[in-house]
Structure 1
Amino acid sequence: MALPMSLNRCLQLLVVGAALVLIAAPPANAQQSTQGTILATRERLRDELARLERAGASGQAGASLIRTRLESGDFQAGDRIVIRVEGEPQLTDTFVVTSGGGPQLELPQVGVVTLQGVLRSELKGRLETHLAQFLRSPVVQVQPLIRLLIDGEVVRPGYYAAAPQHPLADVIAEAGGLTQHAKASGMRVERGATSIWSGAPLRDALGRGYSIDQLNLRAGDRLVVPTRGDSERTLRIIGVLVTIPLAIFTITRLH
């Protein structure tokens, strides 16, 4: 028997809501992260890598991501960086990182700034040092943008450019959130053909509000939200249907 339209809509909302709770709720003993607005320094990355190595996790994906950042830096050709230099309109714009034996910025009148091995947290200092050769006490503001692909069972899949300080969960929300067919527990982040985040560690990171930078992501990484299988979807719907009579009975008793 077909369900009434209003009840069918309620079921859809319940399924979507349950999926969002699954990815967003932190563990009971977890505290909301307050570091999402801070870019990782070289010292912090080294400390985190040392911690992973002491814990015997030196071969895990997280340690590998940190080593890559420490060795190669955060920038690659195609990245976009918003720069504002006070009193210098020709240096105030969005610039694209190019490749010339390594990632670099080509700035008008002041030449090339090499970004090989530079972390996001070091970018402002690198630019200030370079500009100081041409300008007196330059006042610089910078904002790198990370272009991520949000793919699969989200409302608006596609590429999204975000500041690395932003929580990855916010980028998912910008994509409209998960659809009713999403398998939240199967979400993963891929770099090329390699899965770099998945399962419980990814769900925990999302629930704690980890930023793009904290997750050691870079431009071109892809968040994939898979589709639930038919059997799993059927079981979830049955579970929702079973709870409806109890909810109706409880509401009736309250009245």
Structure 2
Amino acid sequence: MLLGTVAAVAAGAQTGRQSGPMSLAYATRAQITHRLDSLVQVDQQGLGKPKDKKARAAEIARLRSRLTDGDFQTGDRFLVDFGAPGQRPDTVIVLDSVKIAMVNWPATSLHGVLRSELQGAVEKYVAAFVREPRIRVYPLTRLQFVGGFGRPGVYAVDPTRPLSDALMVAGGTQNSSKPDKVTIHRGDDEIMSQKSVEQAIAEGATVQDLGLESGDQIEVPRPRQVNSFGRGRLQTILFSVSIVTAVLAFVRASYAGQ
């Protein structure tokens, strides 16, 4: 069993992909460091095909950047619940220079903070102004919805909700589009195929389960539309057909009356 697990991890390191269903989007610093060390070790051995080496190098760079710069970017959002009865959680927006500010308190930086460290970082920030704060922090994932969605655009979604709920935030797929053709992209790479997305929706997988990150793009083909020239030709043809039909009906009626 142990040998099989080690082999699976090594295979994942060679290809630059995760060996399990969870990515490292919400992993701890120790888990990311362990993954990085595994990738670097395999990379030093020069294992894998050129495509695998390229993917591995990209992941190594991405993980090193996360450990240094953190996970948050300008425009990211999260909710802070102070636990007051009847009070809705506050929405906090990450400002320029990756800083946040709450109430009228001085701003603090989230530079170097991972998603898994956000709760502790915000607690420390609030504790400087509130004695023994009891808060809960809920990170949101900023996703871009493009193509045949009812309301395409960028939305901050709850990562603990199913992917199907995230699709509905963007208005769902239009009736004339193809809901079974949804794909998910990160930069120039397709990270989830149509089949993978369809399976994830069927299983009720959450945004967090799938390891989606802020900036990922969810795409569905736009409904096929007839251009104005084609629509004009179609209308002309239908009009001509209606005239011919009317003439034939008139002729038949004339013969019938004789």
TM-score using structure 2 length: 0.57
Question: Which has the higher mean CA deviation after the structures are superposed, 39-48 or 207-216?
Answer: 207-216
Q: Which has the higher contact order (CA 8 A, sep 6+)?
A: 1
Question: What pairs with 1:155-234 in structure 2 (closer than 5 Å)?
Answer: 155-174=150-169, 175-177=171-173, 179-182=175-178, 184=180, 187-191=183-187, 194-195=188-189, 197-199=191-193, 203=197, 206=200, 209=205, 211-212=207-208, 214-218=210-214, 220-226=215-221
Q: What SS does the corresponding residue of 2:130 show, helix, strand or coil?
A: coil
Structure 1 contact 188–223 (Cα < 8 Å) conserved:
yes
Of 29, 45, 59, the residue aligned with 1:42 is 29
Asked if 1:134 is matched to 2:121, the reply is: no
State the 1:126 CA deviation.
Answer: 0.7
Distance in 2 of aligned mates of 1:138 and 1:163: 23
State the 1:162 CA deviation.
Answer: 0.7
State the 1:171 CA deviation.
Answer: 1.4
* TM-superposition CA deviations, 1:106-146 (whole Å, max 9, x none): 12343222101111211110111222233322111112222
Question: What pairs with 1:62-81 in structure 2 (closer than 5 Å)?
Answer: 63=59, 65-81=62-78
Q: Which protein has the bigger strand share?
A: 1
Asked if 1:121 is matched to 2:108, the reply is: no
Q: Which protein has the bigger helix share?
A: 2
* TM-superposition CA deviations, 1:160-208 (whole Å, max 9, x none): 32123334343124442475543845724143xx335253795488366
Kindly provide the amino acid, as one letter, of the partner of residue 72 in structure 1: D
Distance in 2 of aligned mates of 1:67 and 1:179: 43
> Taking structure 1 as reference, are residues 161 and 153 closer, same or farther at Cα in structure 2, changes over 3 Å only?
same
Structure 2 contact 182–218 (Cα < 8 Å) conserved:
no
What's the % identity of the aligned pairs?
29
Kindly provide the amino acid, as one letter, of the partner of residue 33 in structure 2: R
Asked if 1:83 is matched to 2:80, the reply is: yes
* Greater C-alpha Rg: 2
> Taking structure 1 as reference, are residues 44 and 170 closer, same or farther at Cα in structure 2, changes over 3 Å only?
farther
Question: Which has the higher mean CA deviation after the structures are superposed, 179-188 or 136-145?
Answer: 179-188
Count of residues in correspondence between the two structures: 192
Structure 1 contact 155–179 (Cα < 8 Å) conserved:
no
* TM-superposition CA deviations, 1:215-243 (whole Å, max 9, x none): 3411x43212235999xxxxxxxxxxxxx
CA RMSD of aligned residues (A): 4.1
State the 1:86 CA deviation.
Answer: 4.4
TM-score using structure 1 length: 0.57
State the 1:60 CA deviation.
Answer: 1.8
Unmatched 5+ stretches in structure 2 = 1-19, 226-258
Unmatched 5+ stretches in structure 1 = 1-31, 231-255
> Taking structure 1 as reference, are residues 203 and 142 closer, same or farther at Cα in structure 2, changes over 3 Å only?
same
Structure 1 contact 66–216 (Cα < 8 Å) conserved:
no
Distance in 1 of aligned mates of 2:62 and 2:196: 14
